[in-house]
Structure formats: structure tokens, C-alpha cells
Chains A and B, each alone.
Chain A
Amino acid sequence: MKAKFISITLLSAGIALAALNAEARTLIQNKGSDTLVNVAQAWAEQYREINPEVAVAVSGGGSGTGIAAMINGTVDIANSSRKMKKRELALARKRGRDPVEHVVGYDALAIYLHPNNPAKSLTIAQIADIYGRKSKIKKWTDLGLEVPGCKEQQIILVSRQNNSGTYAYFKKAVLGKKGKYRMGTLDMHGSKDVVELVEKTPCAIGYSGLAYATDHVKLACIAKDAESACVVPSVAAAGDGSYPIARPLYMYTNGEPKGEIKSYMDWIYGEQGQCIIVKKGYAPISDVSCK
């Protein structure tokens, strides 16, 4: 009986081992931003066809996760939707790491609304008033709007968890350097979660990368201030700087990239890599003509 049991164990091990194909390859660890994770995934998927000897393993978790992993030395490339802070850079250097910043694309931070929401445009100041600690706007009626299906017109604020790069960027760009989020926001653990919640909640407003837009949600047209015309978030508007809340997306390597990591980064910067980022709904760093 025992022999039978052992043979079963060996058999399943055998099945797993049988799937091995003896390719020699280099492993590149890539971790971080949820905003970038799907682009990173698409790059890794495509790069397999370019260079089958390099395997790029991608994980998400948020910009903070990626940066922490860079500091701990457990990744080769950290993805981040915000710049590394001075404190983080110092900590990394103390641990013998030398993070080098690469901007790989731009992301329009879209303000998501339920399709029922009649809002035509929002100014940055209005959004700050909605999300800020000292917020004056707590109800849609305060903006002169009436949202069908929203009981009591109370605004439901959808936000992100605090190690998210999107969270940090929104805070800095919209609420200002010393701004604080209002208490009682719903902090979601992923870019997609924000959009999904807003889709289902007439009272809600949320922020997330443009790449996560779906057909069931409305994108607010954003004006820099009351005098300027509003701009609908789009890949083009993020790239040419006309959209007021667009941000660079970063990849950090430990030291200047070398060897296979350099080839990978070069490919990302090349036409193919940049076309993938466009296809995923982000703006490229250079003009590329993609099919």
C-alpha cells in the first residue's frame, strides 16, 4: 500500500517534470505598480517571441510593493506610477542598491463617474473640494447636479490603498502637497476594482488609470481651472500634455541596465514596446506609428 502511495506521489511529480522543456534562459523579475502591471504583462508576453531565452516574470501589488522589492533587492525591474521618494532612494543606497529611473510612458489619470451622472466637466479645484479633508462638496447637489438613482445625492468617494502610486499621485496633483484625503473614502486594492465599483454605484466618483476604462462607465472631462476648456482624457491628450492630470510611468533598474535587462529595456523603448503601451491605453514617450 505504501509503495502504491509513493508511486502516486512520484507519478504526479513526474507529470510536473515531464512538462519541462530544457531551454536555458535568464530570468528577469519585474514587480510593482498595478497601473503598469497589465502593460508589463503584455511586454513579457510579447518579448517571449523576440527572445525565447529570456523569461520575464511579472507581479503586481502596487508601486510601493515594487519599490520595496527594489530596496530589498528582490527584483530586477520595479514598476512605479510615481517617482521614488528621497527617503526611499536613500534607503536603497544604504542597502547597496542604485535605483536608476526610466520613464516608459504616460498615463492619464481619469476621473470615473457612473453613466447616470450628468456632470459635463469638473475642474481640478472641484475635484479637490470633493476629495479633500476640508471638503466643501459632500453632495452632488452641491455641484448643482442631480444624479438619477443616487439616494440623498451623497457623494461616494472611491480611492486606492495607500501604497498605491495612483493614490500618491492623485494626492499630490489634485489635493496639493499638503492636501489630505477626506475620511471615509473606499480604498480599493486595484485599478480595476475602482472602475468596477463606480460602474455599479450611481453616487460614486473614482480615479484610476485611463487604461482601465470600460464601456459601462463615464469619463469626466477635466479642466485645469474655471477659465480653461475641459479636456477628455485620451492617450493623445496624455502624451501632448493637454490633459491636466497625466503622469509619467516609471521603471527602476538596479544600476544602469546591463546585458539581458538592457536588451529588454531597449525593446520596451523601441517601436514594438511603445506600440504595446499605446494599445493598452497609455501614452508613449515618443511618436510611434502603430498599426
Chain B
Amino acid sequence: MFAATELNRKNQRTEKLVRILFVLMAGLLILPVLIILTTLVYKGGGILSIDFLFTHPTNGMTEGGILPALLGTIWLVVVALLISVPLGIAAAIYLSEYAPDNWGTRLINLAIINLAGVPSIVHALFGLGAFVIFFEFGTSILAASLTLAIMTLPVVIVATRESLQAVPHAFREACWNMGATRWQTIRRVVLPNAISGILTGVILEVSRSAGETAPIMFTGAVFFSPFLPQGVMDQTMAMSLHLFVVSTQVPNVPEDLPYGVALVLIGMVLIMNSVSIAFRMHLRGKKKW
């Protein structure tokens, strides 16, 4: 017969204690998110309305809406996506499917890791020097989006590469044995199976680009513009910079305005994230292994 010794009981107690501790720690993670969201909704929820989203700011930006900033952020993010997604996916396909394991490939990988570690303010100054001044794009959506694209490129590349590599090698071999070329295999078998992971990378990029302030401050975003952007060579207002401006630069701003701006910004990102998660789960369900 097995009887619990003093040592056994002691171990069980410790086990319980440790478990409770970890659960608490994990639970603690939700706390900041909850606090941020409730504060924002409580203090900024009142100002939200269709008008707030679709009118221009008026009276020294202390009244009116956020339309130019909202549209500006959409412009910046979409243009950044159009640049970085094709580039990132192509690079990831090369690295995952074609590249031999030699020093050249290792150098590229090292560069990607380093690029991911560069602080956003450094990207901002690089963008200012390279795109605004050297390439003479001026402060424009194009320069800002290029800066954002470079900054978020590692996210797209790494996410794409990981999801390409998660596709079992046997799939590729089966395809090659049927006489398919590498590209045919990638197009018909590997990419369709990896799309959910790639999407994750893209959505992460969207969330990050929408929230970044430093890279766009020097390269394309302005304090105020009375007009909506009409092309990539225009400057634009942006949500993140607008939040900074109304909370620190403009006097006599009603208290709920900055909270409202923050709420819309965080709402945009959260909605985009939820859509992508739902979409991913949908795609995931179709996976055949």
C-alpha cells in the first residue's frame, strides 16, 4: 500500500502554491489591458460619434473630429503594406525555399535580426536622411510609408518564413515527385498551406505601423493639415501623432478629446487583430494535417 509520507505532502503543498502563483502572474497580464481599455472607454467613450470620425478638427483642434488623422493613418498603413508585403514575402520565400545554407544566407538572416532590433527613432532618422532628403521625396506619405515598411519588414519576413517552414517537407517532396518545379510547388502547395501564418505577420505589421509615432513624425506626418491627403506625395496628419499633439502641445483641449483619439486608435488595431484571428482560425480549420 502507498501511504503519503511527510515529504510527499510537502511536495504537493509546494506544487499547489507554485501553481497558484503562476496562475496569478498570468492573470496579472490581463490587468493592464483591462485598466487601459476601461479608462479609455470611461473617459473617451462619450466623445465618440459618427461626426467625431468624419469631420475635420476645428477651433485650434480643440473641437470637431479626427477625419484627416484617421484617413492619414489608413494611407500610411496601406502604402507601407503595399511596399513591405510583396518584398517581405518574396524574401521569405527565397530564404525558406531556395537559399542554400552558406555564409551569404546567414548574412541575410543576421541582417534581418538586426533590422528587427533597430529602435524606431533610428529608423525615423534613417528615413529622414534617405527618403526625405537624399531621394528628395520630401516629407510625404511615400517617405513615411517607406520608413514604416523598412521598420516592419523583419516582422513580415520572419512570420512568413516560419509559416513556410511549418508546411511539412513531405508535401513538397510529393509534389516534386509528380514532376512539378520548385515554383509550381511553392505556388500550389506551400503558399496555400502557409497563408494563415503569413497573414499573422501582415496584421502584426498593420498594428505596429498604425501606432508608431517617431518614424512618421520626421518623414511625413504633420501637426495639422486642413486637407485630406490626395496622393503619396502629400503630407498627412496621423492618429498617433495627433494623440501626441492634442495631449501635449495644444492648450485648452477638453479632457475627453485625447482619450477619444486613443480609443479610436486602439479600437482600429483591436478590430484589425480580431478580424485576422478569426480569419486565421477559419483557414486553420481547413488545414489537412
Contacts and interface: CB of A to CB of B under 8 A. Distances in A.
Interface of A: 1-2, 5, 9, 12-13, 15-16, 19-23, 25, 27, 29, 34, 37-38, 40-42, 44-45, 47-48, 55-60, 72, 74, 189-193, 195, 211-212, 214, 280
B249 A192 contact: yes
With a 10 A CB-CB cut-off, give which of B192, B199, B228 has the most chain A CB atoms.
B228
Contact of B71 (A16, A211, A280): A16
A41 B224 contact: yes
Interface string B78-93: 1001100100000000
A2 B190 CA distance: 13
A57 B132 contact: no
B223 to A, nearest CB: 5
Contact of B58 (A1, A45, A47, A72): A45
B163 interface: no
Given A44-B224, A193-B248, A1 B78 contact: no
B235 A34 contact: no
Contact of A2 (B133, B195, B250, B252): B195
A176 to B, nearest CB: 30
Contacts of B66: none
A19 B75 CA distance: 11
Contacts of A59: 139, 221-223
Contacts of B199: 5
Contacts of B223: 37, 41, 58-60
Contacts of A211: 251
A38 B249 contact: yes
A38 B62 CA distance: 11
A1 B251 CA distance: 49
A21 B228 contact: yes
B285 interface: no
A56 B226 contact: yes
Contact of A9 (B81, B133, B227): B81
A47 B81 CA distance: 34
29 contacts: A2-B191, A13-B78, A13-B82, A16-B75, A20-B228, A21-B230, A23-B227, A25-B227, A27-B234, A27-B235, A29-B235, A37-B223, A38-B250, A38-B251, A40-B224, A42-B60, A45-B57, A45-B60, A57-B224, A58-B225, A59-B223, A60-B245, A72-B133, A74-B138, A190-B249, A191-B249, A192-B249, A193-B248, A214-B252
A34 B245 CA distance: 11
A281 to B, nearest CB: 8
Nearest to B195: A1
B150 interface: no
A64 to B, nearest CB: 14
B274 to A, nearest CB: 14
B226 A48 contact: yes
Nearest to B72: A16
Nearest to A73: B133
B121 interface: no
A22 B60 CA distance: 26
Interface in B191-247: 191-192, 195, 199, 221-228, 230, 234-235, 245
Nearest to A20: B230
A23 B234 CA distance: 13
A217 to B, nearest CB: 11
A27 B191 CA distance: 44
A45 B226 contact: yes
Given A41-B61, A74-B139, A280-B60, A190 B248 contact: yes
A74 B230 contact: no
A280 B248 CA distance: 17
B266 interface: no
Nearest to A47: B226
B277 interface: no
Q: Which 9 A-B pairs have the closest CB atoms?
A: A48-B226, A55-B227, A41-B224, A58-B224, A57-B225, A57-B222, A57-B235, A59-B223, A59-B222
Nearest to B248: A190
Contacts of B192: 1-2
A55 to B, nearest CB: 4
Given A1-B283, A59-B223, A19 B228 contact: yes
Interface in B31-76: 57-58, 60-61, 71, 74-75
A186 to B, nearest CB: 15
A212 B251 contact: yes
Contact of A192 (B58, B85, B251): B251
A2 B139 CA distance: 34
Given A25-B227, A44-B226, A45-B58, A192 B248 contact: yes
Contacts of B224: 40-41, 44-45, 57-58
Contacts of A280: 60
Contacts of B221: 59
A271 to B, nearest CB: 19
Interface string B93-126: 0000000000000000000000000000000000
Nearest to A60: B223
Contacts of B61: 41
Contacts of B133: 72, 74
